[in-house]
Structure formats: structure tokens, C-alpha cells
Amino acid sequence: MTEKPHDDADALLDGIDKTLSDFKTRAYEAKKSYDQSELGRAHRELNALGRFWSQFVRSCGWIYLTLIAPLTWRIYRFVRWAFARYRALWARCVYAKDAYGDPEFSKARGGIMILATIAACYVVYGAVTVAATLPWYLATVRHDEQLYLSNSQNLSSSQTEGQEVHEVYGCETLPCTEQNTVTFRVRSTWFNEIWSVLHHGSLFYPGYVAAAVSPVLNRCVITSYGVRKKFLVRSWELYPDLVQVECMPTDAGEGKDSKVINNGDYR
């Protein structure tokens, strides 16, 4: 008589365990059936897509906070500082005193200030361009290099806008092959202008430089700077710059000097 409650409790627990086991089995079968269905596969793909975009956005955030934000914040602070100084300069320059000694805005002074600002920005842009080009020039310049040039072409009306640009073609040695050909650009830039003033005392005229290369095979002595890599020309149009050239047609020079150019010292 005393064992009956214990047996009833065990039976109840066994029933609960069996019910839970049946429930887990049915839930597993239902989940398995759902995963194998079209809706289940679509659900998994959407979850994977959402997880991918979440990870992608978080990674972009890390790139911005670690690499971009420190630089942009410094630029932003510099721009704010420069704009504040410009506003202070504007306030000092555009006001004139009236008959009572009170400051009064002058449209003429404001217009002059705007024109002066445009001119200053233009000069600063030129100075930055020259400063950026100077290390490139010093690292790649070739003085008094001898090679063969055969033709030049004016690109100003076809591939460039507003800037006079010429293209000069030639070879480092003879015979000309696809391995030793070289293409130069003759263009008017801030750096080339200053270089010409320092070396020749005059401005840089691309048309006159390119005109020295007659449409025949010429033996030339040139000064240029830039890297002569064909993949750079093809991918980014990074041509070497030609700044000085002296040419003599090969037929005219054969009687006096028939020596073949050797560019081994320039490589």
C-alpha cells in the first residue's frame, strides 16, 4: 500500500519523458522537412545573405574608422581652420569706413577680394602641382639621352580639352621593334613651364618642341622624365614627358657620323 504513490510518480515521469521525446522527434522531423522544402532553402539563403551584408557593413565600418576617418578628420579640421582664417581676412578687407567712421560693406572691395582669392587658389594649385612633380622628375629624369624619333602628332583637338598636347614616337635602338619603341607626351604643365624658364629663359611651347621631330627617322638628343612602362601607358596613360629635343635626320648625318646609338648607359 505504501509503494503505490512511488510507482505512480515513476509512471508520470516516464510519461513526461516519452511525451518530451516524442515532441523533440516530431520537431526534428518537422525542421528537417522544412529545411528540405523550397521555403526552407529560401530561408537559409536569406539568412546567409543577411549575415554576409552584416559582416560586410561592419568590415567597411572598421576600414572607415581605422584608415579613412583619421585622415578625413585632419582634412576637415584643416578646412575649418582655413575657412575661419579666410572669413577673418574677408571681414578685414571688405569693409570701408563711412563719413562717421563706422564700417560699411564695400562691393568693390568684395569683388576685388573674390578675384584675389581666385588668383591665389590658382597659384597655390600650381605650387602644389610643381611640388608633387619635382620628386618624380628627380627620380626619373634622363639628360642628353640619344635615341631615334620618327614622328609627332598633335592630340590637342582629339584626346585632350583645353591643353596643348603632342605625342612623339621613336625607338631606343635600331631596328625598331615592339620591345624598344617609346612614346612621349609633350604638354604644357606648371612644372614644364618652370623647367623651361629655368633652362631656356622662356615659357614651354609644346608645339615647337614636337616640331623639332621631322616625319623621317631622326637621330635625337633629348631630355625627358617619367617611367617608360607600356602597361602604365595602357592602363593609366602615364606617359613620359619630353621637355627638350635636338634632332638630325639620319640621312643628313651619315656622312659626318655613322655611329650607332647605344642606350645601354641609359637603362
d(CA 205, CA 166): 10
pLDDT band (50, 70, 90) for residue 264: very low
pLDDT at residue 192, rounded to an integer: 95
Please state, rounded to an integer, the average pLDDT across all residues of the chain.
84
Given a contact cutoff of 8 angstroms between Cβ atoms, the answer to whether 220 and 246 are in contact is yes
pLDDT at residue 9, rounded to an integer: 66
pLDDT per residue as tens digits for the range 18-55: 777 767 777 767 676 766 777 767 777 888 888 899 99
**pTM across the whole model:** 0.67
Domain range summary for the chain, segments of one domain joined by +: 91-135, 142-266
Task: List the one residue out of 180, 239, 173 whose CA is nearest residue 206.
Answer: 239
Q: Where do we find the cell 647605344?
A: 262
pLDDT band (50, 70, 90) for residue 255: very low
Least confident of 52-56, 129-133, 213-217, 231-235: 231-235
Residue 152 identity (one-letter amino acid): S
pLDDT at residue 199, rounded to an integer: 94
pLDDT at 184 over 60: yes
Least confident of 20-29, 65-74, 136-145, 228-237: 20-29
pLDDT at residue 1, rounded to an integer: 45
pLDDT band (50, 70, 90) for residue 5: low
pLDDT band (50, 70, 90) for residue 236: confident
pLDDT at 152 over 50: yes
pLDDT band (50, 70, 90) for residue 169: very high
Give every CB contact of residue 261 below 8 A, 6+ residues apart in sequence: 146, 147, 148, 172, 173, 174, 219
| Mean pLDDT along residues 131-149 | 95
Q: What is the DSSP letter of 174?
A: S
- Whether the link from the prior residue into 175 is cis, omega within 30° of 0, is yes
**Greater model confidence, 167 or 254:** 167
Given a contact cutoff of 8 angstroms between Cβ atoms, the answer to whether 178 and 158 are in contact is no
d(CA 99, CA 39): 85
pLDDT at residue 258, rounded to an integer: 46
Share of the chain above pLDDT 70, in %: 80
**C-alpha cell, 104:** 560699411
